[in-house]
Structure 1
Amino acid sequence: MKKRTEEKFYLVHEDVLPEAMKKTLEVKTLMEQKGLSVSAATLQADLSRSAFYKYRDMIYPFQAMVKEQIVTIFLTLEDRSGTLSKLLTIIADAGGNVLTIHQTIPLQGLANVTLSISTSAMGKDIVQLISDLKKLEFVHKADIVGSGA
């Protein structure tokens, strides 16, 4: 048996995951939200129980991994009066606690902003918050660049 010396983790886009891993996440959701047994949830998700047991401890939704942690977000914002203030208000309204802010001097009408946010009190998951931020007209880019305890 191969000994694990160091665990490595990767952030992988859902589109490249094998179907069994996607269905494992579906089974976990069914069990958590509907209280289904492993047998009932795997049957509903059309996944074998053996495949579920193979992957269940190896795959988690990203938002589950960053709960009660610090997330670092990188954004590119238009250089307009009040944009940073609006951005911080949206994060605060979501329950995020901004710990650090670093903003570059605007060049060609754009400024880069790096925020460290505590997500422990957030009412929505960080992935949804990033999606909401990307929809703002003054946000050109919004990505999670790191997370940690």
Structure 2
Amino acid sequence: MSSTTDSVATQLFARDPIPPLEPGKKVYDPKLTKTIASLDEHEYVKAALHLANDDIHNCHEIAQAHEGDTIADILHATLHRREGDYWNSKWWWSRIPAHPTIKSVADSKAFVDACERLNGTGSKEEDQLRERQWDELKGLVEFTRGKYGK
């Protein structure tokens, strides 16, 4: 696996505090956008890293280009939840069969509903959702690197 990819992943997952449920249009580290795009990695690895960098746009470009592939659709569903497009996120979840990166489609949709309900409340429950989301993002990066990484 690429040491540059390792470095990017390490930098992203050392974030403190962890990302909000919805990053808005703000990319966590804009300098990493170009680095991630230039990695010698499969598109899904790059998309997952972009998503962990709160770069919804670049993740979306990749996911949209591979629509119909399960991992691309999972990335698509996740990015729409993170941008606050909850209905669209649940629509994408409806298209996804069972997959090792998710508990179930019903659980994923319930998570979307919880994010919509609690985003911006500053509550303990929102903090728990942020932790779950962070674990999910790490899992997507690990899965894509394990399956598609170089």
Q: TM-score, normalised by structure 1?
A: 0.24
Larger relative contact order (CA 8 Å, sep ≥ 6)? 2
Question: By percentage of residues, which structure has more strand?
Answer: 1
Q: TM-score, normalised by structure 2?
A: 0.24
**Higher Rg of the two aligned structures:** 1
Question: By percentage of residues, which structure has more helix?
Answer: 2
